[in-house]
Chain A
Amino acid sequence: MPNMLYDLIIIGGGPAGITAGIYTARQRLKTLLITKDFGGQIAKKAVPIENYPGFKEISGLDLIQKFEKHLKKFETDIETDSVIKIEKINKNFIVTSENKKQFKARAVIIASGADPRPLKVPGEKEFIGKGVSYCVTCDAPFFSNKTVAVIGGGNAGFETAIALSRWAKKIYILEAGLEVKADLENQEMAKETGKVEIITNSVLKKIQGDKFVNSIIYEDRKTREEKELKVEGVFVEIGLQPSTAFAKDLVEFNKRGEIKVDFETFQTKTPGLFAAGDVNTGKFKQIITACSEGAKAALAAYEYLKKQNGN
């Protein structure tokens, strides 16, 4: 059992977690931030960010590095690790990490964000790093002059295709629905590359290859026919799933696994346990909304702790 008692533990190093950390540091709360990396989803964003005030155009990685520097101005403890369990024992929370460390705090903010949702088709796991990628900003150069498929016709899928067009010679976008869901601006930009072909009403069935990916099989939902596409890369952009399993005994989830909160305080059903950013059921998943929720959760946690002290 750890001896050190923190006022607050923040889980996650994306916009919500970092903002919460900045706020609690300024409230002089003894805070520990646990994260496996800084950046959350925005560090991996395929195209520059153009909707965060103060920055007309900035890459996700640059913006998050500024966030990280800002947080590190304060004396917040930072632990590079992943959380696997939270328990509440009496009035305190015990947080257990993957490296089997335990930390104790009087309140916790979960801001662990979301991970790419996997396709769950045969071949996906086997070919990770061998053609299957969830991070276009990491891996695009490896597909120089190759034909690739992007699975998912939303904004993330289109932005991935646009980023790939600098390298790949041909990009298919597979969308399961009848129509793509991306903004018109993204659709136009993809068209302008002259390299993107959109296949709607198509469901990916299988990824295959030898040492590396060499083709995919998809079902044409109209004709029920299975078709093969020769591609050397598969980029998965079918949305996100929240990273919340570690909290399952203390919170309520919706059917997507997102945490239910009170949207004024961001408190979960467990007093002293808050959830901000992509992890909760909030509809709009933006950088600025994640920051806003991180700030509100931090202030609500501060009020909660003050009440606990009896003032």
Chain B
Amino acid sequence: MIKVFSTPTCPYCHVLKQFLKENNIEFEDIDVSKDEKAREEMIKKSGQFGVPVIEIDGEIVIGFDKEKISELLNINE
């Protein structure tokens, strides 16, 4: 299960989501600007006050760390 914590106006979130889409990865997009509970959940899990944060099968990756995300999702370019 993949969750992306993002805000609609964050450019890095846009790049991250586009990258996932290009690689046909399904994910749940959580808009933390609208969902306060999700925001709290994200802060608790990541220790971060910033987006994007991606959760891949329980593992948290902060920011658009392409290398780490590719590794966790077995994406080879």
Partners in one complex: yes
- In A21-45, the 8 Å CB interface with B consists of 37-39, 43-44
Contact B48 A141 (CB under 8 A): no
Q: Which A residues are CB-close (under 8 A) to B72?
A: none
Which partner residue on chain A sits nearest B9 by CB separation? Answer: A137
- Tell me which of A65, A139, A211 has the highest count of chain B C-beta atoms within 10 A of its own C-beta: A139
Q: Which A residues are CB-close (under 8 A) to B12?
A: 37, 135, 138
Q: A37-B15, A129-B62 are in contact. Are A142 and B50 (CB under 8 A)?
A: yes
Q: Which A residues are CB-close (under 8 A) to B11?
A: 37-39, 43-44, 60-61, 64, 135, 137-138
Expressed in whole angstroms, the Cα–Cα distance for A99 and B65 within the complex equals 13
Expressed in whole angstroms, the Cα–Cα distance for A141 and B5 within the complex equals 12
Q: A37-B12, A135-B10, A142-B39 are in contact. Are A129 and B48 (CB under 8 A)?
A: yes
Q: Which B residues are CB-close (under 8 A) to A80?
A: 19, 66
A308 within 8 A of B: no
Shortest CB-to-CB span from B71 to chain A, Å, is 13
B13 within 8 A of A: yes
Can you identify 27 A-B contacts, CB atoms within 8 angstroms?
A: A37-B64, A38-B15, A39-B11, A43-B11, A60-B11, A61-B9, A80-B66, A129-B47, A129-B63, A133-B49, A135-B12, A135-B50, A137-B7, A138-B9, A138-B10, A138-B51, A138-B52, A139-B10, A139-B51, A140-B7, A141-B33, A142-B32, A142-B43, A142-B49, A144-B36, A144-B39, A212-B49
